[in-house]
Amino acid sequence: MNRELLEEKLAELPLYVYHFLTPQELDFTDRVRWICQNECPMYNKSWACPPAVGTVNYCKAKCRMYENCLLISSIQEVRDIADIEETLSTRPEHEALTNQVGDILRELGVEPYILSTESCTVCERCAWLDGKPCRYPEKMHPCVESHGINILPVIEELGLTFQYGENVVTWFSLLFY
């Protein structure tokens, strides 16, 4: 895969930052899974979330099958970051960007495994709730945390932050290839 070409194309997108790393640099931990299980209302409600995505060990092995990982981040300013509705309304733009990056990787000849933000919202009611297979596996991206990934150490090492300003929303995605 031609990284130079990839970087040329990434530079055309409104990404705040992108960074290449290896899956081995990511911290997979059951502590993150504990938070999903105990604090997230989406636990056991979607194919994009635990337990449907598999154990943390399974997710770790899956991600580590790939040689490379591309981290992308976008930021958006909102009037009031405490307004969850307004904050979440910035998510589709980041998801669209993530899909664009996925398409670029495909154009360059690799099929990425994509982890993005929050739970999947493609269908009104997730097929998981009815014991049926995911309707759009090609569109569905589990969130980074669903795989037990603690993204904080990587972000800190890169000198990045979750909070660029009082009312700035920061989104991250990981594309393994």
**Is the Cβ of residue 46 or residue 73 nearer to ligand SF4 in the bound state?**
46
Query: Which run of H or E residues covers position 71?
Result: strand 69-77
79 three-state secondary structure = coil
Q: Which residues bind ligand SF4 (CB under 6 A)?
A: 46-48, 120, 122-123, 126-128, 134-136, 139-140
Structure tokens at 120: 């999947």
Least distance to ligand SF4, CB of residue 42, Å: 11
CB 28 within 8 A of CB 36: no
Rg (alpha carbons) of the chain, rounded to whole number: 16
* Strand ordering across the sheet containing 168-176: 17-21, 69-77, 168-176, 113-115
Residues 174 and 26: their CA atoms lie apart, in Å, by 10
Residue corresponding to tokens 């669903």: 146
**Is the Cβ of residue 31 or residue 132 nearer to ligand SF4 in the bound state?**
132
Least distance to ligand SF4, CB of residue 175, Å: 18
CB 140 within 8 A of CB 48: yes
Least distance to ligand SF4, CB of residue 93, Å: 19
Residues 75 and 86: their CA atoms lie apart, in Å, by 14
**Is the Cβ of residue 18 or residue 128 nearer to ligand SF4 in the bound state?**
128
**Is the Cβ of residue 15 or residue 118 nearer to ligand SF4 in the bound state?**
118
Least distance to ligand SF4, CB of residue 127, Å: 4
**Is the Cβ of residue 79 or residue 125 nearer to ligand SF4 in the bound state?**
125
Least distance to ligand SF4, CB of residue 50, Å: 13
